[in-house]
Amino acid sequence: MMKRLLLLSLFVPFCTKSVAQIPGALRIPYGQPDILSVAPDARISGMGYAGVALSPDANATYINPAKLASATNDFGASASFFRWLPALVDDYWIGYASAYKKLGEKQAISASVQYFDYETWLINGDTKQLADLAISAAYSRQLGKNFSMGATLKYISSDLGYAYVNAGTIKKGQSVAADISAYYHKQVTGGQSGEDFNWSLGVIASNLGNKIDFGSSGKYFLPAKLRIGGGLSYTATGKHRINLVADLSKLMVPTPTASQNGQNGAVLKGALRSFSDAPGGFKEEMQEIMFSVGAEYWYKNVVALRGGYYGENQKKAGQQIITVGAGARIFRNFNADLAYIIPLKEGSPLAETLRTTVSFYIPGKKG
């Protein structure tokens, strides 16, 4: 187990703090806990983790709850599960559950729970089962015919498991945070023939909150992130539909250097500083932007095929990932989705990750 934990700290992009503090190492911004940085559901995971401007579904609380104000179904709920880092460990897993309810035509409320179950090595040679938890509640409202906004509050708890190998008093970290999101959706064409063309824009500033305190292990910024994206959706007759999405995202945490671990300073100043503090200037700031692009094909609104790409600059975390996925609508109101990621780097601990999501919807009343 110790060997596996060392491998995690060295190679996993979501656990980069040990690398970032080594003089001369890659300058990779990071925050804690890791669970806030992991896409939970199979739909967006099959589309390169892009989805801030994708059509709303029961998982939108994570990626952009503002979309739920324009959801066509009155109620939706989903559950997702996957093993985390299956190429390295057998007993790490992440579960996610989410639900929303429309309040009339222009409002919605939603909630979600994300849980990360893992094991760590204690200094006495024993192992200990640990968990990270994030609970969210969101409200979204249409502010115009095509524009809506959302606000999310979340409670976060983390054991920071690998730190149990250190001396000192380690305590469970807890924090609260907020997300602010917006969504714009415009139908360009639509008619009785079934032709429909839409475009959309989305933005979310997520995990805005106080540092999380782990006692003698230190205080860490939450992985605050700014994500913006756009989407296109088209069908000629209603039989075949293509959805295209692309996202750009950047962590709003300071860049670590050889002399600083990037966790110093106030939260607001750190977020503002994150757009201009890279030692390499504007060029390095651009290298910290992560890119996601995805496509989704629906046949008769019953069967879906998905594909995508997620990329980080080679001078940062350097992850290059192809994603594939599929979905099916069952008994009209049920969906089942799968997503599988294919890292382009040999030996990536993210290999063999398979996400599964099941969801249920209740249509809104007509007329």
The 10s digit of each residue's pLDDT in 14-69 is 343 333 334 345 788 989 998 899 999 999 999 999 999 999 999 999 999 999 99
- Identify whether the C-beta of residue 257 lies closer than 8 Å to the C-beta of residue 27: yes
Is the bond preceding 256 in cis, omega lying within 30 degrees of 0? no
- Please give the pLDDT value at position 25: 56
Q: What is the pLDDT of residue 34?
A: 85
pLDDT at 7 over 60: no
At 177, is the pLDDT very low, low, confident or very high (cuts 50, 70, 90)? Answer: very high
71 vs 187: CA distance, rounded Å = 14
What are the C-alpha distances in Å from 313 to residues 36, 96, 227, 284, 319?
21, 29, 16, 10, 8
Asked if 230 and 199 count as a contact pair (C-beta separation under 8 A), the reply is yes
Residue 22's pLDDT is: 41
Per the model's pLDDT, the better-predicted residue between 185 and 17 turns out to be: 185
Cα separations in angstroms, 319 against 54, 291, 339, 346, 349: 23, 11, 17, 11, 11
pLDDT-derived band at 347 (thresholds 50, 70, 90) equals: confident
Burial 158-189 (b: 16+ CB within 10 A, else e): bbbbbbbeeeeebebbebebbbebbbbbeeee
Identify the weakest region by mean pLDDT among 9-23, 182-196, 332-346. 9-23
Class of the CATH-defined domain 2-363: mainly beta
3-state secondary structure of 191: coil
pLDDT tens digit string along 74-110? Answer: 999 999 999 998 888 888 999 999 999 999 999 999 9
Q: What is the mean pLDDT of residues 214-241?
A: 92
Contacts with 80 (C-beta within 8 Å, 6 or more apart), sequence order: 40, 41, 42, 59, 95, 96, 97, 355, 356, 357
Is a pLDDT exceeding 70 seen at residue 206?
yes
Q: Is the pLDDT of residue 116 over 60?
A: yes
* Cβ 187 vs Cβ 179: under 8 Å: no
What does pLDDT average to over the chain?
A: 87
Predicted local distance difference test score (pLDDT) of residue 359: 97
Q: Are strands 290-299 and 147-158 parallel, antiparallel or unpaired?
A: unpaired
262-270 mean pLDDT: 86
Global pTM? Answer: 0.89
CB neighbours (10 Å) of residue 29?
A: 25
Q: What is the pLDDT of residue 259?
A: 75
Average confidence (pLDDT) over 154-174? 72
- Is the predicted pLDDT of residue 165 greater than 60, yes or no? no
- Residue 19 and residue 6: Cα distance in Å, rounded? 11
Tell me how crowded residue 301 is: count the other CB atoms within 10 A of its CB.
12
pLDDT category, 12, cuts 50, 70, 90? very low
Q: Among 30-34, 109-113, 117-121, 321-325, whose mean pLDDT is lowest? A: 117-121
Quick one: average pLDDT of 173-179? 95
pLDDT given at position 327: 97
* Strand pairing class (196-209; 212-213): unpaired
Question: What pLDDT shows up at residue 366?
Answer: 56
Tell me the CA distances in angstroms from 239 to 26, 54, 192, 297, 361, one per residue in order.
48, 19, 13, 11, 21
DSSP H helical ranges for 149-276: 267-273
pLDDT of 172 higher than 70 = yes
